[in-house]
Structure 1
Amino acid sequence: MLPDPDVTVVVVARDDPRRLARAVRSALEQSLPGVEVVIVGEAGGGPAARAVPRLVAGASDRVRAFALPERSGGDGRARNLGLRYARGRYVMFLDGGDTLDPHACKTMVTAAAQAGADLVAGRCVRVSRDGERTRFPRLHQERRLHCGILDAPELLDDAVAAGKCYRRAFLDREGLRFLDRLRHADLLFTARAYAAAKAIVVVPDRAYNRFAGPGPLPCTDLGDFADRLEILRRTGAMLRARGAEPLARRVEARFVGRVLPRCLRELRCREPGHREAFVELARSYLAELDETLVEEAGRIPAIAALMVLEGRADAAMAAADYAPRGAGKPVLAIEPVERDGRVYWPGAHLSTPLGRRVLDITDLGIATAPLGALRLGGRVTRMCRAGRALRVSGTVVNPLGRIGPGTELGGVLEIRDRHREGRVFEVPATVRLRDGEITWEAVFVPETAIRPTGLADRSWGLWLRLDAGASTVEVRLTSDGTAHRGLVLPVRPRLTRLAGDRLEAYVAETGELALRIAAGGWPARAALPALRRAARSRLGGAAGGRTGREDPAGDPVSGPPARPAVR
C-alpha cells in the first residue's frame, strides 16, 4: 500500500467498464507519484462493478475499492464513503466516465502547498464529438489567490465538485460531506467549501476532462429538477446563515437567468402534463425569491420567469425560444400585444409596474423589422395517415396582424436532415388567412419524399417556408404533444429495412417537430441497434466513443440548421 499518499482520487464507478478503466488509469498515470485511487461502486454490481476487481489487482498497492450497501440515488453517498477511506493529504473527485489531465494532481497540490490553500480550482474541459470547450473560461485566464469567496463570488458559478483539489484536513475540520439521496449534491458541497475556505487558488492549467456521455438525465426530468431546487434552497439558506446575502442572490440569479431558460428550451419535447408539473415546481421556487431577481435576470429570462410565475408553460417556452442556445436565430412563437403604442409579451402581469417593465418588448423591433427578418413559430395541429401519405396541417404566429387580408400567400414544407446541414426535401403547402389566423396544410408520401439511407440521416425536422407577399419567412414547427402522438408510417431506407422500417413523429430537444427512423418489426429490431453502434464508433472514436449530446429520442442534437442556400 502506498505510504502517506499526497492525493486520494475518489472515483465513482459508472455502468461502462471501459470508461471506468480509462478514469482510473488517468489517476494512476499522474506525474505526481503519491496518488492513490479509491473506487466506490453502487450496491448490486453492474458491468462497471464487475470490472473493479481487475482494476484493483492491476495496482493493488495504489487502488482500493468499496461498495455501497444499498442503491444511493445519487453520487453523494458514494463520495462520502470514498472520503471515509481517503488517506491522502488532498482529495479529488473523479466521475467514472471522465479523466484527469496527466499533471492535474501535481499542479494543484503544488499550488495549494505554496499558498496554504484549502481549495484549488483547475480548468475543466468538456470533450465531445464536436471538439473541446473549456467550462467557465473567464475564471481560468490566469493564476489567482483569493482570501475567501467574497473576493471572487463568480467562482460560485462553477459549483461542480470535480476538477478541484481539497485539503482533507479542511474537509474534516468543517465537517464537509455530501447530502445523501439528492442529485446535484455537489453543488451544495462546493458552495459550502467555497464559503468556508480561507484561501482559494484558481489555476489556468487543464485539470479535468469531462466526456459527454450517454447517461445524464435531461434537466426537465421532474425528479432531477425537484432535487436541484431543493439543493438551491439549501444553498441559499447556508449562505445567508453565513451572512453572505449577495452570494445567495448570485446563486438564485443564476438559476433565473441561465438554468431556467435552458430547461424551458428542452421542455417542448415533453408531454403537456409533464410541462405543467415542471412549471409548477419552478413556480413554487420562484415564488420564494425576491422579485427584483426576476427583473435583474435580463430581458428574455425575466419574461420567462414571469410566465412561469403565472403558470403559463406556453408563454414561458416561447420566451425561451426567443433566446435560443448558441448562435441560433430567435423564434417568435407567441403573438405579442400592443397597448398605447407599446408592444408587450402577453401576460397577466401587464397590470403591475414590474410586469409592464419586464414585458415591454417594443425595442425588439417586432413591429418594425422586415417580415422576412423574423423567424416565426408554427404549431402542427393535426397529423394523420392517408394510406401511405402523411397529411400535416397547422397554424403560424401572425405578429401584430402584420400579415393582413389581401396578402398573397404560399408555402413549402421543408423536411430537413437534422444531421447534415443543407440536405432538404420540399413539399408544396397550401396557406390561407382566415380572421387574422394563418393556417397551412401539406400532403406527402414520406418514403417517396425523403428516401433516407437510415443511419447518417435518421432524423428529419419539419419547417415551413412561408411566402407572404414579397417576404419569405422561416417558420419553426412544433407540437403540443397531441397532434403527433402515436403516429407511425412505413418507410424503406436505402440500406434496406435492416436500417429501420418505420417513421415516428416526435418533438426534438430543440423544439422542432421531427420524424425519426425506428425499428418496429424483426429483423430491423435486431439489426438497427448494432448498425447505429457501429456508425457512432466510426464517427466518435477519436473522442472515446459516443460523445455527442443526445435528445430524448436518441438523436444527437444539432439544433435547427440555418435555411440552406442549396436545395
Structure 2
Amino acid sequence: MNYQHVEPTAYTVTVVVGAYNASATLDRALRSALGQTHQRVEVVVVDDASTDGTLAVAQQHALRDPRVRVIARPQNSGGVGAPRNNGIEAASGQFVMFLDADDELPHKACEVLLASALTTGADITAGRALRVNLAKDEITVWQPQLYGTDRTVAGGLRAMPELFDDPIAAAKLYRLDFLLNNGIRFPESVYFEDTYFSTVAGYCARSITLLAAPVYRWIWERETDAPSITNRRGELRSIRDRVLVHQWADAFLAQNGAHELMAHKAAKFLSHDLRLYTPELRTGDDGYRQGFVQFVAPYLRSFTPEAYDLCGPLERVRAFGLMHGRVDVALSVSDYTQRRSVLSSDLVERDEKVYWSGSLLGRPHAERFLDVTDLDLAGQTLSDARLFNQATRAEIRDGELHVTGYIRNQFGRIGPKDKLELTAVLRRRSPKTDHTFAVSGVEVDDEYIRYHTTVDLDETVGESGSGATWNLFVQIRHAGQRATTTVCVRGVDVGQERYRGDGETYEIYETVSGNLALRPETSEQQAGLDPRGTPWLWWADSRAPEPAAPPERYALSLVVHCHNDEYNLYEFLNSLAAQADFTRTQVILVDDGSGDSTPAGSPPSRPTTRTSQSSHRCPWACASPSTTGCST
C-alpha cells in the first residue's frame, strides 16, 4: 500500500494493551495512550482474566472515551501472546503497536512513528525504548547501538542480523495488513513470546525503519509483589520457555533456509540471554541449577560451529561449562567480567596456549571451547594478576572477625615450599586508613593458597567513631612482588553477623562485587533478619477486645485469601483486632494451597492458639470468637 502524500490524520493507530492483574498501573498506561498528539488512536485492552480490579479500570476508561474497547478473556492464557493476538484480530486501525499495562507511551510516540511509516512505507517502524528504573531513578536507552540515527533497512532482518539484539515487540509500529497477510502472531501460553514474533516479523519485512526518537517508556520495578516476566528468572519456567521460543524461531528460519541468520541468533543467545541468569545460577539451589542445565545444555549442543565463531572466548567457555553441567565454570566467567577481571577458574597453560578450565580439558572439543589465549592471562606478573580470594567462613566473635578462605594459585605460580607472606588489611574507606593483621594456617598446593586470619575489631572499628565503612583485603608477597586480593563472600551466610561497639552496631555485608565489607547497621539489614521484613506495627500498643459471644448477624464479612503467608498473618490479624468494630466482623481465612505453615500452625516466634470456630489451627492469637477460622 502506498501511503505517500496522504495526511497522517487519515490513519488510525491501534494500541493493543494486554493486561493481567495490573489495576495499579493500567490507568497510567491508558492515559499515556489516549493522550497522544495523534488523535486517531484506538486502544484495545485485553484483560487476561484478572483477579483484581484491572477489568474495572479498563471498563471505566471505555465509558469515558469511545476510543477504548475492552476484551475480557474468560480464562487466563498463561502469557502475553494470546491477549496480543486477540488485539491484532480486533484491531480496526491501519497500524498496530503494543503497550504493556505497566509501561507508558511518550506524548508524541504515535505521531512520530506514523509520520515515518507513511513516508518510508516500511512494514515495521521502530524507535527508542527508554528503560526507566524507578528504584534507582535512572533512565537508559534500550539497545542504543541500533537507534543512534534515523535509517531504513531494506530487507529487514535478512540484511541486518544485528536486529536480533532488539527482540521486544514494544516501541514499534506495525502495518496491520503486513501482520495479517503473513500470518504473523505471537506464540501463546509461554513467556518471551516477543522473540518468536520479532524473528518472523523481521524476516518477512520488506523494510524496517529505525528512529532515534524515544517512543516507549519501559518501566522497570525489580521489587514488586507480582514480578514481571523479566524479573522471574529464578523460576525454571523462565529458562524453559526462553529456550522453547528460541527453538521455534530456529525452526522458522530453518524452514526458510536462513541458516546464517540462525547462527547470528544463537550468538545473541550465548552473549545475552545466558548471561542474564547469572544471579539466579549463583544463588539457586542444586535443584534449580540441575533444572537449568537440563533445559539449556541440549540447546547449546545444537548450535553450529559458525554460531560459536561469532562469539567471544568467554561466551564459548560459559556455554561449554553448562553443556557439561559445570555451573561453577559458567559462573567463573561472570567473576572475571563483573569483578574487575578476577580469575576464579582453574586456568591451565599447555603448548603455549591458555585454557580456562583444566578440569574440563579432557572433554571432546574442549580445547576449541576453552582456549582463552587471546585474553593474555598467562603473561601477567603476580602484581598484575587478579587473584580470586574466596572466604569459606566469616564470623564475628568477642570483638574479633574470623575469616577462613582460599586464594586461587593460578598456573601454580607459588610452590609449596616457596617463601610466602600473607597479610590481612582492614581498610577504612574515608579517611583512608589501613590496619594490618597476621595471617595464619597458610597451606599452599598447585591450586590453592589456604589461610585463616583474625581481625581485632575492638581496636579498629570500635575506636574509629561513627559512620565508617571498612573493606577487608589479603595481600600476598612472593619473589619480590605483591598482589592484593579482595575477599569474596558469595555463598557465605554473613547476614546476621554483627559487631557491637560503643554506641554503634556494625554489620558484615556483601558489596556489589560480592566482597566482604563492614558498615553501620542499616534498616534494610534489620528488616532482612525477618524473611518477610518488619511491618509497621501501629496496633502493637492497642488493647485487644474482650472475648464476646458471636452476634446473631455480623455487620461485615471479610474474606482473606492466604497463600504462604505465615509471616504476614500475625501482624495482619492483630491489626484487624485493633479496629473499633472488630467484634461485629466475621473473618474468613481461605487457604489457597500454601506450602508453609499458614493453614496448620503459627509463624516462628509467634504465640499459637486455636480459633474458636474452626477445626484448623490458625497462626493468630484470637481475641474474639468472631473469627470463623480457615476454609480450604
Shorter-chain TM-score tier: 0.7 to 0.9
CA 1:523–1:387 in structure 2 vs 1: closer, same or farther (change >3 Å)? farther
- 1:42-71 CA-to-partner distances (Å, cap 9, x unmatched) read 3242254453344334x3212222333223
Match of residue 408 from structure 1: 421
Match of residue 308 from structure 1: 322
Q: In the alignment, is residue 9 of structure 1 matched against residue 15 of structure 2?
A: yes
Match of residue 525 from structure 1: 534
Does the CA-based 8 Å contact 1:265-1:317 persist in structure 2?
Answer: no
SS in 2 for 1:82: helix
Q: In the alignment, is residue 23 of structure 1 matched against residue 36 of structure 2?
A: no
Match of 2:250 among 232, 236, 242: 236
For residues 493 and 270 of structure 1, the distance between their equivalents in structure 2, rounded to whole angstroms, comes to 35
Match of residue 475 from structure 1: 486
User: Which stretch shifts more, 193-202 or 222-231?
Assistant: 193-202
Q: In the alignment, is residue 160 of structure 1 matched against residue 168 of structure 2?
A: yes
Match of 2:66 among 61, 69, 72: 61
Match of 2:442 among 413, 433, 449: 433
Match of residue 320 from structure 1: 334
Match of residue 339 from structure 1: 350
Matches within 5 A, 1:246-261: 246-261=260-275
The structural deviation recorded for 1:96 is 1.8
The structural deviation recorded for 1:488 is 3.3
For residues 419 and 433 of structure 2, the distance between their equivalents in structure 1, rounded to whole angstroms, comes to 30
- 1:435-487 CA-to-partner distances (Å, cap 9, x unmatched) read 32322334569999879xxxx99xx99753434354232335144x4x529x6
Match of residue 195 from structure 1: 203
The one-letter code of the counterpart of 1:206 is: P
SS in 2 for 1:200: strand
CA 1:352–1:443 in structure 2 vs 1: closer, same or farther (change >3 Å)? closer
Matches within 5 A, 1:511-550: 511-512=514-515, 517-519=525-527, 520=529, 525-527=534-536
Does the CA-based 8 Å contact 2:336-2:343 persist in structure 1?
Answer: yes
Q: In the alignment, is residue 356 of structure 1 matched against residue 354 of structure 2?
A: no
Match of 1:172 among 164, 168, 180: 180
User: Which stretch shifts more, 436-445 or 273-282?
Assistant: 436-445
SS in 2 for 1:373: coil
Does the CA-based 8 Å contact 1:74-1:182 persist in structure 2?
Answer: yes
Does the CA-based 8 Å contact 1:38-1:86 persist in structure 2?
Answer: yes
The one-letter code of the counterpart of 2:185 is: R
Unaligned segments of structure 1, at least 5 residues: 530-567
When Rg is computed on C-alpha atoms for both structures, the one with the higher figure is 2
The one-letter code of the counterpart of 1:311 is: G
For residues 68 and 393 of structure 2, the distance between their equivalents in structure 1, rounded to whole angstroms, comes to 59
Q: In the alignment, is residue 297 of structure 1 matched against residue 302 of structure 2?
A: no
TM-score (norm 2): 0.70
Does the CA-based 8 Å contact 1:307-1:347 persist in structure 2?
Answer: no
Match of residue 32 from structure 1: 38
CA 1:314–1:349 in structure 2 vs 1: closer, same or farther (change >3 Å)? closer
Does the CA-based 8 Å contact 2:346-2:359 persist in structure 1?
Answer: no
For residues 176 and 347 of structure 1, the distance between their equivalents in structure 2, rounded to whole angstroms, comes to 47
For residues 456 and 79 of structure 2, the distance between their equivalents in structure 1, rounded to whole angstroms, comes to 47
Does the CA-based 8 Å contact 1:396-1:475 persist in structure 2?
Answer: no
CA 1:502–1:25 in structure 2 vs 1: closer, same or farther (change >3 Å)? farther
The structural deviation recorded for 1:347 is 4.2
The one-letter code of the counterpart of 1:146 is: A
CA 1:524–1:104 in structure 2 vs 1: closer, same or farther (change >3 Å)? closer
Match of residue 290 from structure 2: 276
Does the CA-based 8 Å contact 2:184-2:200 persist in structure 1?
Answer: yes
CA 1:415–1:365 in structure 2 vs 1: closer, same or farther (change >3 Å)? farther
Q: Report which of the two has the higher share of helix.
A: 1
The one-letter code of the counterpart of 1:435 is: V
The one-letter code of the counterpart of 2:25 is: R
User: Which stretch shifts more, 268-277 or 149-158?
Assistant: 268-277
Does the CA-based 8 Å contact 2:498-2:506 persist in structure 1?
Answer: yes
Match of residue 542 from structure 1: none
Match of 1:117 among 114, 122, 135: 122
TM-score (norm 1): 0.78
Match of residue 466 from structure 1: 475
Aligned length: 505
SS in 1 for 2:388: strand
Match of residue 134 from structure 1: 141
For residues 472 and 76 of structure 2, the distance between their equivalents in structure 1, rounded to whole angstroms, comes to 44
For residues 184 and 203 of structure 2, the distance between their equivalents in structure 1, rounded to whole angstroms, comes to 11
User: Which stretch shifts more, 180-189 or 372-381?
Assistant: 372-381
For residues 48 and 445 of structure 1, the distance between their equivalents in structure 2, rounded to whole angstroms, comes to 57
For residues 395 and 528 of structure 1, the distance between their equivalents in structure 2, rounded to whole angstroms, comes to 44
Unaligned segments of structure 2, at least 5 residues: 1-8, 519-523, 539-632
